Structure 1
Amino acid sequence: MNHRFVILFLFLLSLFSCKKSGSGIIETFSPELISSAPTNNETDVSIYTKEIVLIFNENITLKRGYEITLNGVTLSDVNPGVKNDLRIILPELQEGTIYTLIIPAYTIKGPTGAFIPAEIKLIFTTYKSPARTFSVEAQKVMDFLKQIYGIGTISGTMANINWNTDEADWVYAQTGKYPALNCFDFIHHVFSPSNWIDYSNISAVENWWQSNGLVAAMWHWNVPANSGISDQYAFYYGSKSDQTLFDVSKISDENSEEYRLMIKDIDIISGYLNILKSKGIPVIWRPLHEAAGAWFWWGAKGAAPFKSLWRLMFERMTNYHRLDNLIWVWTSEGNDPDWYPGDEYVDIVGRDLYQKTHIHDSQLTEFNKVKAIVLGRKMIALTECGGIPDPDLMFQKGDTWLWFMPWYGSYTRDDSLNGADYWRTVMNNSHVITRDQMPDLK
């Protein structure tokens, strides 16, 4: 190319890239920072924040050999976006910590080649959750969950009705791999112990834990049904004979029959959970699920009595029965911030989703609804689902569920929902954690 032509081209480019001052002198303007997330001096930033995003008024690039630091430690994963953003991948953040990001002067430049001549400093403080004391094993589980959150998703199955690993065994038979988590259910506690159900026999749970599986448990809480027959129970709220009008609002009346029954049942379940504690088994504990849906009696009278019941259960199990092996999971309906019991009573937040169409798509919209309720301060799990979202789409779109768990029976086994072929695809995905990949958390 002709040398004179190159010089002329560069001169014309500079004319289009620069502006004239009032004196007629051509000035070159450096990029300007418009916004950031987190913002400067922001407090209560979630420790699950994965990146800092800086937005400028024009496209930017970085000089070679840049040195961007966070609390004095050089960050290497820094990515100028396709337009005018700079994304800085963060290391694992610690709670209640002040962080200072420093971008030295003359590190960032615009399309004209003009550098930002001043240092950029961004300070933020991470949220510190209320103090929680866990058993050694439960703390190890919490540490593991925090470590993998946003990086991988834990595979899970639901027991076939209550106290078994039937669905997990079926998945293993189809794929050669066990899911990492199995959820049990205290649904039949009113009949235990009997010759067909005895929750004091923990062999199925203990075997799962000894095989490095994560133990989860829920409780379809049966109370007397409307039929008046002494051995009939229900957990759905309604007027039919196989449902119940049990009044959760009586949680505020210590002299009521409802209050006495709730305390009695909480104490019974606490006894079973204490057996697991005695064996060093931590439990990802998800009681009173889907409350805002109002189809269960514990959610039928609104948010206030539900939260009172949740907090009473938490206090009685944690402080009275000293069950420090429980990791508490609250299940959101996605539009229910008034139902949230509070940070001090919740460790993880869940969402139950049964998609009617596009059942394996990303569920980012629902993920973000829950994230907004807890301001990103809690890990978020897909605690029940119909179709398992495609793990690749999860991590492309950003709905990085801590775990996924399809319901038992047809939800797990039928090809129209999941089925053997899809399970094989899921269990071999690099984002999915199976039981054979689990560390020993004992």
Structure 2
Amino acid sequence: MKFLKGFGFAIVLALFIMSCTEDQEEPVTLSTVSITATIAEASETGTDGEINVRLSTSPGIPTQVNLTIGGTATNGTDYQLIENTVTIPANQLSVSIPIKVLTDDLDEGTETVVVTIESVANTSIKIGDENSATITISDPSGSLIILKPEDARSYMVNPNATDETVALFYNLKTISLSHFIVGQQDAFNSFYNDNGGDSDIKKTTGQDPGLLGSDFLFITDDQNDETSGNWFYQQEQIIIADAKEAYNKGMVNAFSWHFREPYEGKSFYTSDMTTFQKENAFKSILPGGENHEYYKQKLDKIANVANSLIGDDGKLIPFIFRPFHEFDRDWFWWGQSFCTPEEFIALWRFTVEYLRDSKGVNNMLFAFSPDNSITSASDYLARYPGDNYVDILAMDNYSDFFNLNEAGMEAANNKLQIISALANERVKIAALSESGYQVKDGQVEDISGFYSNYLYNALTKNNVKIGFMMFWYNGSDYYYTPVPGLNSTDDFIDFANKPASWLADDLPDMYSLP
């Protein structure tokens, strides 16, 4: 029995040694690598695609993954060139590959991009079951009018516009086919918690907004006497400096006009006005009205500012002018209850002709922007002054986003579809000229996914094509765009990093034609 026991022990020991030897010879698999299409539906005139290469666990060193690029779309022709190797950095699990679709005039139908994992440089990493990803690129160009640089001037309000203004029109239109510029009102001077310095969007994302919103309110105020000690004139100088800074950074400028009523010059809100003022303010500034000359003086001031906006390059700074916004509501004295469609159209046309023809303003694009009451193209066009008087078909919309659910998002998207389609038919630029959701300290909390889900989908679903969208300004105890450290900060960063969203550093040269 002792012999048998010893013999048995020897056999077990030998088997154990053999087992250990075999285990040492076989490589240990630390991780698998897979590839998926995180944005699988792209469009030549819409959304870019995105592919993600992911490790199940990190080996702690950089991982080079070799790829095969295939499909019916041509790498470097139908989409920006992507390399056939990608490296996942050490201690990271994944890396994304953007499929940036290139626009052309060819009707190519639907094409595909197929990216397959061929091999991995690290032999301890195996290729997983998900080893291929496909992006579908649709091409609805048959129904879209693609603007050519040489034709841009013929679709603009001002055929004598400066070359830089023509380029701005063309580039905004072209950008709208696949991206939108993210802007903010008064971004250089209004901050959450009054924390100055960089714009709040730059504090959060590392980039300024691509568009700066400003206002002619203080510039045209009755109390602006244009002396250095005057508060309103000081605000004028700040606004002009901001516009120049934005231009010099390659950003886009847009001016709204909260124009105070002409009788007392105190307010633009009808809630502050007498019945007489509400019923007569708009009519009084029409040609022949008792305040028409007063109105022309305000336009003279706007023209003087426009004609003196010079960038560091010595050229006139182009900008978007958006007068009489939200005219389909009644909170402003130019609202629909206080003038007929014919009166509104007459004043709009006079405004354009006076600035363009009488004052020689050639660096201005005109934006037409009701609020969100529209439900059809006929609604939108009810007070439309005509294609010869409008460059940008826009809309302001806050209240659809107050619902903060799918229904609100779909309502906003439906309205943007109307504007987008009209802009395509008329070769104009579509835009969401004011929007956002105000989060207020102690009163209104942020909503999970507002930016990257509700807002982004409203701006991009169903072939919506807008050139820009603009958030309203931040204040001491509220924000429309979050700063670092808030619950919604990561959500906003995700929104800013989405394929269609462009901030300042993403912009091409907006003031040169290709």
The TM-score by the shorter chain falls in which range? 0.5 to 0.7
8 Å Cα contact 1:247-1:301 kept in structure 2:
no
* 1: CA distance, partners of 2:505 / 2:292: 44
Cα distance per residue 1:371-405 (max 9 Å; x no partner): 46667322210101124554356334333332111
Query: Which residue is 1:205 aligned to?
Result: 243
Offset of 1:368 from its aligned partner?
2.6
Offset of 1:273 from its aligned partner?
1.4
Helix, strand or coil at the partner of 1:233: coil
The 3 A distance-change label for structure 1 pair 261 and 90 is same
8 Å Cα contact 1:164-1:184 kept in structure 2:
no
Where do 5+ consecutive residues of structure 2 fail to align? 1-43, 47-71, 73-104, 113-137, 149-153, 193-197, 438-450
Query: Which residue is 1:171 aligned to?
Result: 201
Higher relative contact order (CA 8 A, sep 6+): 2
Which amino acid in structure 2 is aligned with residue 158 of structure 1?
A: Q
User: Percent same amino acid at aligned positions?
Assistant: 23
Which amino acid in structure 2 is aligned with residue 78 of structure 1?
A: T
Query: Which residue is 1:412 aligned to?
Result: 480
Match of 1:90 among 141, 149, 154: 141
Which amino acid in structure 2 is aligned with residue 286 of structure 1?
A: R
* 1: CA distance, partners of 2:285 / 2:307: 24
Helix, strand or coil at the partner of 1:272: helix
8 Å Cα contact 2:416-2:464 kept in structure 1:
yes
Helix, strand or coil at the partner of 2:385: coil
1:127-276 to structure 2, matched below 5 A, reads 129=155, 132-133=158-159, 134-159=161-186, 164=189, 166=191, 169-188=199-218, 189-190=220-221, 191-192=223-224, 193=226, 194-198=229-233, 199-200=236-237, 202-224=240-262, 233-238=266-271, 240=273, 244-245=277-278, 246-254=280-288, 256-276=289-309
8 Å Cα contact 1:185-1:218 kept in structure 2:
yes
Cα distance per residue 1:61-99 (max 9 Å; x no partner): xxxx9xxxxxxx86434369xxxxxx7542884569xxx
The 3 A distance-change label for structure 1 pair 359 and 433 is farther
8 Å Cα contact 1:184-1:218 kept in structure 2:
yes
8 Å Cα contact 2:158-2:356 kept in structure 1:
no
* 2: CA distance, partners of 1:252 / 1:272: 23
Which amino acid in structure 1 is aligned with residue 246 of structure 2?
A: W
Which amino acid in structure 1 is aligned with residue 267 of structure 2?
A: A
Helix, strand or coil at the partner of 1:184: strand
Q: In the alignment, is residue 421 of structure 1 matched against residue 421 of structure 2?
A: no
Offset of 1:418 from its aligned partner?
9.6
8 Å Cα contact 1:282-1:325 kept in structure 2:
yes
8 Å Cα contact 1:386-1:411 kept in structure 2:
no
Query: Which residue is 1:286 aligned to?
Result: 322
Cα distance per residue 1:322-369 (max 9 Å; x no partner): 111001100034234221111000001111111221268353211133
Offset of 1:268 from its aligned partner?
1.3
8 Å Cα contact 1:236-1:243 kept in structure 2:
no
Where do 5+ consecutive residues of structure 1 fail to align? 1-48, 52-64, 66-72, 81-86, 97-127
Match of 1:78 among 106, 110, 119: 110
8 Å Cα contact 2:183-2:468 kept in structure 1:
yes
8 Å Cα contact 1:177-1:427 kept in structure 2:
no
* 1: CA distance, partners of 2:275 / 2:489: 35
The 3 A distance-change label for structure 1 pair 95 and 408 is closer
Query: Which residue is 2:360 aligned to?
Result: 322
Q: In the alignment, is residue 347 of structure 1 matched against residue 391 of structure 2?
A: yes
Offset of 1:239 from its aligned partner?
6.3
The 3 A distance-change label for structure 1 pair 359 and 177 is farther
The 3 A distance-change label for structure 1 pair 182 and 242 is farther
Aligned-residue CA RMSD (Å): 3.8
Query: Which residue is 1:432 aligned to?
Result: 501
Cα distance per residue 1:222-250 (max 9 Å; x no partner): 1346xx6xxx5111235646994352123
Offset of 1:296 from its aligned partner?
1.5
Moved more, 184-193 or 196-205: 196-205
Task: Normalising by structure 1, report the TM-score.
Answer: 0.66
* 1: CA distance, partners of 2:107 / 2:343: 48
Total equivalences in the alignment: 334
Query: Which residue is 1:332 aligned to?
Result: 370
1:20-169 to structure 2, matched below 5 A, reads 75-78=107-110, 88-90=139-141, 93-94=145-146, 129=155, 132-133=158-159, 134-159=161-186, 164=189, 166=191, 169=199
Q: In the alignment, is residue 358 of structure 1 matched against residue 404 of structure 2?
A: yes
Which amino acid in structure 1 is aligned with residue 471 of structure 2?
A: P
